[in-house]
Amino acid sequence: MKTNLFFALLFCPFFLLAQISDPVATEVWEPTARVITPGQGQAPPSDAIVLFDGRHLDHWQATDSSAAKWSIAENAMTVVPQSGGISTKKSFGDCQLHIEWRSPAVVKGEGQLRGNSGVFLQSRYEVQILDNYNNKTYSNGQAASVYKQYIPLVNACRPPGEWQTYDIIFKAPSFNADGIKIASGSLTVLHNGVLVQNHVEVMGTTEYIGFPKNKAHGKAPLFLQDHGDLVSYRNIWIREL
Ligand code: MG
């Protein structure tokens, strides 16, 4: 027994050294990454849920669960002011979201009243949509801000009337059985391919007045805001993570 231990201790360093000098020792073959097909051009990847492909609003509804009332033309849907925001019928948790939006070519209004809409993850956490091309407003409420929580790193807005993209990576907050938040959510946002929110910690719900709230919730729909402006959307897809 003692002899075995002696030899084990004697050869152990040599064994470790052999491991360190062998590149094969650090290769991982299992599990393997699932194969998907990335989209060509504007097309979604093969494992995405397409929420809007320009043809119908079947995946959407009004907040009272009646049919979504936004209009569709030329493969885009547009806010019908005062008809209310629209929600996905399906609920989501952690996700990667691709969404394209366009503020009206005819510029009307100033500050928050120009091309305002919003992408609300889990119907609670807003990435602001606003025409901020030569349009000043409070920085933590401009386009690509996490509304009233984080100023975007840069203003990557295209001119009004041009299509813009958001690619959003969202980690949902988690709550324990007592309803206490035990892990914050996070958001990473690319605006027209440019990093504008770098894994920021979501403080809580988006509030126009007052502080963010952290009431427990589970998966929830994606919500798009009607702020009274003719903002359009197209090519919306999501990947559950
Ligand atoms: Mg908004």
Q: Where are the domains of the chain?
A: 1-32, 36-240
Superfamily the domain 36-240 falls into: Exo-inulinase; domain 1 (2.60.120.560)
What is the per-residue burial (b if ≥16 Cβ within 10 Å, else e) of 173-211? bebeeeeeeeeebbbbbbbbeeebbeebebbbbbeeeee
From first CA to last CA, the distance across the chain in angstroms is 51
Apex 96 CA angle, 95 and 102, nearest 5: 125
**pLDDT, position 1:** 47
**pLDDT, position 5:** 57
C-alpha 50 – ligand 1 centre gap (Å): 23
Q: Strand, coil or helix: what is 32?
A: coil
C-alpha 195 – ligand 1 centre gap (Å): 20
Q: Which amino acid is at 204?
A: G
Token readout for 176 is 């324990």
How far apart are the C-alpha atoms of 240 and 171, rounded to whole Å?
10
| pLDDT single digits (tens) 159-196 | 999 999 999 999 999 999 999 999 999 999 999 999 99
C-alpha 149 – ligand 1 centre gap (Å): 13
C-alpha 178 – ligand 1 centre gap (Å): 32
C-alpha 16 – ligand 1 centre gap (Å): 58
DSSP state for residue 111 in the 8-state scheme: G
Token readout for 30 is 């299992």
As averages over each run of 10 residues, the pLDDT of the chain (241 residues) reads 55 63 95 96 96 98 97 98 98 98 96 98 98 98 98 98 98 98 98 98 98 98 98 98 97
C-alpha 7 – ligand 1 centre gap (Å): 70
**pLDDT, position 141:** 98
**pLDDT, position 20:** 75
C-alpha 116 – ligand 1 centre gap (Å): 5
